[in-house]
Structure 1
Amino acid sequence: MNRPVARRAQFTGWRALAPGLTPLALALLSAWPLHVRAQAAPAQTGNTMPAVTVSATATPDATTEGTGSYTSKTATVAGKTEQSIKEIPNSVSVLTRQRMDDQNMTTIQEALRYVTGVQSVDYGDGTAYFKARGNMLGIEFDGVSMVSGLQYQQQFDLAMYDRIEIFRGPSGVMDGAGDPGGTVNLVRRRPLDTFHVATETRIGSFGSARQVIDVTGPLNKDGSLRGRAVLVGSDALKSVNGTREKEVMAYGALDYDIDPRTTLSLSAGYQINPISGLDYGASGVTNSTQTALIGRVPSSWSQNFSPSWNYAYTSLEETNANLVHRFENGWKAQTTLFYRHELTKGDYAYSGPGATADGLSSYGEQRQRNSYDWFGADTNVSGPIQAFGQTHTLTIGANYSLLSYTQQSGFVALNGPFADGTFSLYDPNAVTKVDTPFTYGANNRIEQYGVYGQARIRLARPLTLVLGGREAFFQQTSQTILPSVSDWSTQAQLNHRFLPSAGLVYDIVPWLTAYANYSKFLTAQPVSTFAGAGLPPRTGEQYEAGLKGSFLNNRLNATAAVFRIHDKNRAVGDPDHPYYSIAAGKSREQGFELEVTGEPLPNWNVYAGYTYLNVSYENDAPDLTDGTDPKHLFKLWSNYKFSQGMLNGVTVGGGMLAQTQITRGVEQGGYAIFNASAGYRFNRHVAASLQLNNIFNRGYYIRPPGNFYSEFGARRNVMLTVRSDF
């Protein structure tokens, strides 16, 4: 188990008070991870020791590693500190370390695909886009909000993380300007206070291999310095023929207790992801006038529609520093600094726009090199306040996020062997590579900062009012560097914009709460009107209400929520001036969500999530670049461990993902994917599992074809995983 921050608070007198204690007991008492207060009783005479009263308040900890559970009692994504999920007046899900392991998740795409209400859509190059409630999601790294850090960006291997927290709905109070879909918080694995070595070896039916080594433990005698190192290497052939993805990841972390109440945490990560045979898929079939997408192309769900020389490469570097101090009065102060550098480069050909019914399409070669630098900082204080006979909680803080990136790209239209210069999608290796110089380049800068506050006001014993507010600032600027250098210009700017939120939590009974919330959002729009002015930001609000229950002695959690989002001032095309925009679009996203996670019976873990979403537009239309959203989305995973009898040590699991149709140029009909697993624990150190994915070999698109690009779902495959734990 992770060691709480205040672990080294000691009372120096245990041996004198109880000379019969064993060395182990003395060690445990000396390292008691709680706040200890000793109060002497009136003096006694003779050899009788004075009576000692010990009172302690446990420090909340949202860590999921080692719990063996699919559910978590607390999360940090809603307010920068650990909060009971049942007392948060918003929809929050936690993907625990146990469920990531049981479902063999290694990428954020795989993980978010099995989170309630989230669409995870691959892009073909190791990146993806993610939506909830009809809108894009934002991201935090250990509670530090990073502008433009999730969509279409490579992320670290999940071996680096303890859990993934997902907040659905506007999160502007903590994160600033952004889409109202919600926020994903990736929380790192921390060093443990006992020595521990774990390995994972995996092979897959397409010819993939993966190895993980995880070492952690104390680095000095008193355990005040702890470390962790995680190494990952993989070499994988994908479901699509000829596509090969490699990965090397190294992660290291140190925790140091400066004093019993102050902990400094440092971490760093490095990862590379080369891809050969990169396939962006086929474009959709158009009619004779090239105006409407009417069908789909593939002859098989393993077809690679790109030449074998396609290549892409991504490298990630990341550092994180966190300083936490816990005061004796229950208050906590923390500051986190975050830096990430990403380099992406590639040289590839892809088809489109559109294709003919017999599979002929134009191709173009694109070469690009992009570098990104993110810097983020967050500082906050939080703690209890006694007033009017009740205990209230206040959090105040400030954060800053900066993204600076440089883009360079070049494109060459390729001339094919057919009369109209096209190529056959079924013979992509006929597409020859040409020299493609960079013809476009730009420097870009997105800066966001603000101050925020959240108050949990206990109006009465069963009723809590949660108020939040943020003063937000945002600026986006750019400068072209190719074909010529220009001056910096401002695309979007927001100053002194106030973002409020309000929620009520009512404890109906100890195991059931009801809640309602209101929150406002705004999103900068870096586009211009015909007159040259920038568009005002998208604005709107969400209304949400729900129930949260905790059953079976907190082993099983269930939530139900209804929501409605009003979104206005959306950028739409100017009907009088092509290539320009006006702020005239409106949309409404509404629906409900159900989620159950936990352990309904001993040794049985289950997760189930269902979402109904209805999206309507006024003077606007769905962005078919990213596609429409399924109206119904259901996700399930269950895992049972036999602990006695002839099957002792056997584990069985299974689940499914089902969704109704979506449209992106062409329509992807509804589909369901079924997976199953079986495992055996040989002893307390070694276990193995066999997982069968897409049992019925369902052919489907994760990303249906539009004018460009498509992505197949993986065909039926088998995965053998062996884990050791010492």
Structure 2
Amino acid sequence: MTPLALALLSTWSLHARAQTAPAAPAASTLPAVTVSATVAPDATTEGTGSYASKTATIAGKSGQSIKEIPNSVSVLTRQRMDDQNMTTLQEALRYVTGVESVDYGDGTAYFKARGNTLGVEFDGVSIVSGLQYLQQFDLAMYDRVEVIRGPSGVMDGAGDPGGTVNLVRKRPQDTFHVSTETQIDSFGSARQMIDVTGPLNKDGSLRGRAVLVGSDGLQSVQGTRQKEVMAYGAIDYDFNPRTTLSLSAGYQVNPISGLDYGASGVVNSDRTALIGRVPGSYSQNFSPSWNYGYTSLEETNANLVHTFENGWKSQTTLFYRHELSKGDYAYAGPGATASGLSFYGEQRQRNTYDWFGADTNVQGAVQAFGQTHTFTIGANYSLLSTTQDSGFQSLNGPFANQTYSLYDPNAVQKVYVPFTYGANNRTEQYGVYAQGRIHLATPLTLVLGVRETFFQETSQTIIPTVSDWTTQAQLNHRFLPSAGLVYDILPSMTAYASYSKFLTAQTATTYTGQGLPPRSGEQYEVGLKNSFLNNRLSTTVAAFRINDNNRAITDPNSPTGQGSIAGGKSTDQGFEVEVTGEPMPNWNVYAGYTYLDVNFENDTPDLTDGTDPKHLFKLWTSYKFTQGLMSGVTVGGGMLAQTRISRGVEQGAYAIFNATVGYRFNSHVEASLQLNNLFNRSYYIRPPGSFYSVFGDRRNVMLTLRSDF
């Protein structure tokens, strides 16, 4: 029997014992221990009308009070997504405290926090390598986006210590409801969404939901056009008041034409260093018009929840996602001259990704020593299988001594590019975990987490020849602990301190071909969380330090000049401040500030993804007038500001300002007009390196019409 099967069987046995095992007689020398009912708070944000969420599911598989979680947690609510007209995950995470969201140019992005990349969960199911540089579903299918910053190895296993994003889908509602959303913008884009939900039988035990989206989007960069069709459906069925089965499925396609990866930086005369950027407008497309890309997503999810008579709850979730990504495009680089002359190459690729995830757990409360303690015990499994085919053709190259002008990319002619490389890859991770919230005293809670994790990454080439499978990285029986203390200073004020360990598998090898040990380290975090105005307004202040050891670096003593050793270190430290909620009725506000200091020892930053801004500030606010001549009017606005970053070419500090005004015609229909990049600031989201760059959107206007019945 596999370790996963054993873990699932063990967890199911716990489920059964929680329901059927008779209570043992209490020992005369110990206080009585009893299992009692506990009801997890609902974390749904849809319909609250607020930017604040009191609870989140990302830290423990069910709703927990954010104030009682000894980590930095942010929740992007449905209301804020609507007010800021967010439709993609990169737009959403760009306005989450401490998160860098950097577009890649092809509809995907990469995401970092605290100097490291983020992992992902879908409704609490951890998925290995499922976020970075990958197309994601339209935000219309999600209720909220939860983010925990810092390592979350107990629940997610091995991975980078930046944190985890949890995308929580919309669920069917128990009353009939229809909403629509129509958007057009000054680039010439149009988008339509319809969302229908309600009961499907007389007693309401069967409920359904369907969300449809269609869009035809032009972009800030001239000649780039991305279309989208998305369909999402969900069904909830109550077998009885204590057992619910939830099923959902999603499908989305995203063709993109005029795909532009931007221009690389200007190089010096011997092409050894980047010395600047190519001049030009911030709407310039530096790629030929025949570039194209195509992505399709398919997803299914099943969740079974049962509450036992003693109040304990079990839930099991199965998840599957398939993604097809293909494209044929030319791009500039490496480097360019100051006058805009560059080499070009054409790349053709076809990649498929198949994810499977499973999570099963049991959780509940125990009365002991005069206090109520809660425990979660579970197991999870994640598998990613990929097939990657690619080919590259230099359209000129240094040996041909021929370049093209970046200002006339259509002079680059398309050629046939065969697949010259192909590989199958398989990444598997599984483990068992437990978390306990132990109340040491009425104001003091000890939060302990443990995980035994297993990880393996294997691959084989299939083009030009088929090879045997080889192991790239492996972790067996690795122990990942976490610990936190939460002290309720006042009913509205909580202080916390936490420790968490992380492991990250590495595929680099020594010059003799031996694998390297994993990156390892720990995070220390302290913070203070407050709630004001009857929990309408929340604040968080947190300080953190991440020690990252055993980083792969080039072996300075290698006799071959190749190979790596685990000799690098980094320290990521800083602090965060977040304010979110309603300081006054009808006034919503969100503000987040992050200071980050990244230091390397025997290592240097990887400029592939760029450096991290030392200061990062985000703001959005809106106010609804309900009386007088302005009744029905909503005004709002916000900003995003950050200090310098670099990918070889530096992007200086910048600030982007947005503003919006809306009007509610009646209880069913409202419209808003949003002006983005109010002062038409020119900037790079992804500054140039040896290859690639991405402009930030120039000033644009979006008109949105929403109906609600």
| Structure-2-length-normalised TM-score | 0.94
C-alpha deviations, 1:670-696, integer Å up to 9, x for none?
A: 000000000000000000000000000
* Cα distance change on mapping 1:200 and 1:578 into 2, 3 Å: farther
C-alpha deviations, 1:392-435, integer Å up to 9, x for none?
A: 00000000000000000000000289982111111100000000
Residue 328 of structure 1 and its aligned partner are, at CA, apart by 3.0
Within the alignment, does 1:574 sit opposite 2:555 as a pair? yes
Equivalent in the alignment of 1:103: 84
Partner AA of 2:675 in structure 1: L
Given that 1:179 and 1:521 are in contact with CA atoms closer than 8 Å, whether structure 2 keeps it comes out as yes
Q: Quote the Cα distance in structure 2 between the aligned partners of 1:212 and 1:641.
A: 24
Q: Quote the Cα distance in structure 2 between the aligned partners of 1:333 and 1:57.
A: 12
Residue 59 of structure 1 and its aligned partner are, at CA, apart by 4.9
The match for 1:394 among 369, 375, 389 is 375
**Which secondary structure state, in structure 1, belongs to the residue aligned with residue 45 of structure 2?**
coil
Partner AA of 1:718 in structure 2: V
Q: Quote the Cα distance in structure 2 between the aligned partners of 1:715 and 1:418.
A: 38
Given that 2:38 and 2:364 are in contact with CA atoms closer than 8 Å, whether structure 1 keeps it comes out as no
Q: Quote the Cα distance in structure 1 between the aligned partners of 2:383 and 2:400.
A: 50
Given that 1:320 and 1:338 are in contact with CA atoms closer than 8 Å, whether structure 2 keeps it comes out as yes
Residue 526 of structure 1 and its aligned partner are, at CA, apart by 1.1
Given that 2:248 and 2:302 are in contact with CA atoms closer than 8 Å, whether structure 1 keeps it comes out as yes
The match for 2:460 among 469, 474, 479 is 479
Partner AA of 2:175 in structure 1: T
Within the alignment, does 1:618 sit opposite 2:605 as a pair? no
Within the alignment, does 1:663 sit opposite 2:642 as a pair? no
Equivalent in the alignment of 1:61: 42
**Which secondary structure state, in structure 1, belongs to the residue aligned with residue 80 of structure 2?**
helix
**Which secondary structure state, in structure 1, belongs to the residue aligned with residue 410 of structure 2?**
helix
Q: Quote the Cα distance in structure 2 between the aligned partners of 1:460 and 1:241.
A: 62
Partner AA of 1:75 in structure 2: A
Equivalent in the alignment of 1:446: 427
C-alpha deviations, 1:620-666, integer Å up to 9, x for none?
A: 00110001000000000000000010000000000000000001011
Equivalent in the alignment of 1:14: none
Equivalent in the alignment of 2:130: 149
Given that 2:38 and 2:311 are in contact with CA atoms closer than 8 Å, whether structure 1 keeps it comes out as no
Structure 1 window deviating more from structure 2 (414-423 vs 605-614): it is 414-423
Within the alignment, does 1:589 sit opposite 2:572 as a pair? yes
The match for 1:244 among 199, 210, 225 is 225
C-alpha deviations, 1:585-626, integer Å up to 9, x for none?
A: 000000000000000000000000000000000000011000
1:505-516 matches, cutoff 5 A: 505-516=486-497
**Which secondary structure state, in structure 1, belongs to the residue aligned with residue 272 of structure 2?**
coil
Equivalent in the alignment of 2:30: none
Equivalent in the alignment of 1:299: 280
Tell me how large the CA RMSD over aligned residues is. Answer: 1.1
Given that 1:522 and 1:540 are in contact with CA atoms closer than 8 Å, whether structure 2 keeps it comes out as yes
Given that 2:195 and 2:211 are in contact with CA atoms closer than 8 Å, whether structure 1 keeps it comes out as yes
Equivalent in the alignment of 2:525: 544
**Which secondary structure state, in structure 2, belongs to the residue aligned with residue 381 of structure 1?**
strand
Residue 329 of structure 1 and its aligned partner are, at CA, apart by 2.3
* Cα distance change on mapping 1:578 and 1:303 into 2, 3 Å: farther
Given that 1:416 and 1:431 are in contact with CA atoms closer than 8 Å, whether structure 2 keeps it comes out as no
The match for 1:431 among 412, 416, 419 is 412
Given that 1:76 and 1:83 are in contact with CA atoms closer than 8 Å, whether structure 2 keeps it comes out as yes
Residue 574 of structure 1 and its aligned partner are, at CA, apart by 2.0
Q: Quote the Cα distance in structure 2 between the aligned partners of 1:381 and 1:674.
A: 46
Equivalent in the alignment of 2:139: 158
The percent of aligned pairs where both chains have the same amino acid is: 82
Given that 1:200 and 1:212 are in contact with CA atoms closer than 8 Å, whether structure 2 keeps it comes out as yes
C-alpha deviations, 1:199-239, integer Å up to 9, x for none?
A: 00000000000000100000000000000000000001000
Residue 188 of structure 1 and its aligned partner are, at CA, apart by 0.2
Q: Quote the Cα distance in structure 2 between the aligned partners of 1:413 and 1:421.
A: 11
Q: Quote the Cα distance in structure 1 between the aligned partners of 2:153 and 2:474.
A: 16
Q: Quote the Cα distance in structure 2 between the aligned partners of 1:144 and 1:299.
A: 45
Residue 81 of structure 1 and its aligned partner are, at CA, apart by 1.0
Within the alignment, does 1:273 sit opposite 2:254 as a pair? yes
Equivalent in the alignment of 1:629: 612
Residue 330 of structure 1 and its aligned partner are, at CA, apart by 2.2
Equivalent in the alignment of 2:56: 75
Given that 2:38 and 2:365 are in contact with CA atoms closer than 8 Å, whether structure 1 keeps it comes out as no
Q: Quote the Cα distance in structure 1 between the aligned partners of 2:497 and 2:232.
A: 40
Q: Quote the Cα distance in structure 2 between the aligned partners of 1:360 and 1:681.
A: 52
Equivalent in the alignment of 2:535: 554
**Which secondary structure state, in structure 2, belongs to the residue aligned with residue 352 of structure 1?**
strand
Q: Quote the Cα distance in structure 1 between the aligned partners of 2:398 and 2:529.
A: 62
Within the alignment, does 1:604 sit opposite 2:587 as a pair? yes
Residue 568 of structure 1 and its aligned partner are, at CA, apart by 0.5
Residue 298 of structure 1 and its aligned partner are, at CA, apart by 3.5
**Which secondary structure state, in structure 2, belongs to the residue aligned with residue 566 of structure 1?**
strand
Equivalent in the alignment of 1:716: 699
Q: Quote the Cα distance in structure 2 between the aligned partners of 1:475 and 1:196.
A: 46
Structure 1 window deviating more from structure 2 (407-416 vs 186-195): it is 407-416
Q: Quote the Cα distance in structure 1 between the aligned partners of 2:352 and 2:675.
A: 38
Given that 1:276 and 1:308 are in contact with CA atoms closer than 8 Å, whether structure 2 keeps it comes out as yes
Given that 1:416 and 1:423 are in contact with CA atoms closer than 8 Å, whether structure 2 keeps it comes out as no
Q: Quote the Cα distance in structure 2 between the aligned partners of 1:58 and 1:418.
A: 70
Q: Quote the Cα distance in structure 2 between the aligned partners of 1:659 and 1:379.
A: 41
Given that 2:40 and 2:63 are in contact with CA atoms closer than 8 Å, whether structure 1 keeps it comes out as no
Given that 1:470 and 1:498 are in contact with CA atoms closer than 8 Å, whether structure 2 keeps it comes out as yes
The match for 1:687 among 670, 694, 709 is 670
**Which secondary structure state, in structure 2, belongs to the residue aligned with residue 303 of structure 1?**
coil
Residue 57 of structure 1 and its aligned partner are, at CA, apart by 8.0
* Cα distance change on mapping 1:416 and 1:252 into 2, 3 Å: same
The match for 1:380 among 361, 367, 385 is 361
Within the alignment, does 1:365 sit opposite 2:346 as a pair? yes
Given that 2:40 and 2:64 are in contact with CA atoms closer than 8 Å, whether structure 1 keeps it comes out as no
Q: Quote the Cα distance in structure 2 between the aligned partners of 1:702 and 1:418.
A: 33
Partner AA of 1:685 in structure 2: H
The match for 1:640 among 592, 612, 623 is 623
Equivalent in the alignment of 2:505: 524
Residue 326 of structure 1 and its aligned partner are, at CA, apart by 1.4
Given that 1:138 and 1:150 are in contact with CA atoms closer than 8 Å, whether structure 2 keeps it comes out as yes
The match for 1:345 among 326, 338, 342 is 326
Q: Quote the Cα distance in structure 2 between the aligned partners of 1:415 and 1:456.
A: 63
Greater Rg, structure 1 or structure 2? 1
Residue 581 of structure 1 and its aligned partner are, at CA, apart by 1.4
Equivalent in the alignment of 2:337: 356
Q: Quote the Cα distance in structure 1 between the aligned partners of 2:665 and 2:702.
A: 18
* Cα distance change on mapping 1:128 and 1:352 into 2, 3 Å: same
Equivalent in the alignment of 2:179: 198
C-alpha deviations, 1:37-81, integer Å up to 9, x for none?
A: xxxxxxxxxxxxxxxxxxx98651000000000011110000111
**Which secondary structure state, in structure 1, belongs to the residue aligned with residue 154 of structure 2?**
helix
Q: Which structure's relative contact order is higher, taking Cα pairs within 8 Å and 6+ residues apart?
A: 2
The match for 1:403 among 384, 392, 395 is 384
Q: Quote the Cα distance in structure 1 between the aligned partners of 2:210 and 2:44.
A: 18
Partner AA of 2:647 in structure 1: R
Q: Quote the Cα distance in structure 2 between the aligned partners of 1:547 and 1:59.
A: 23
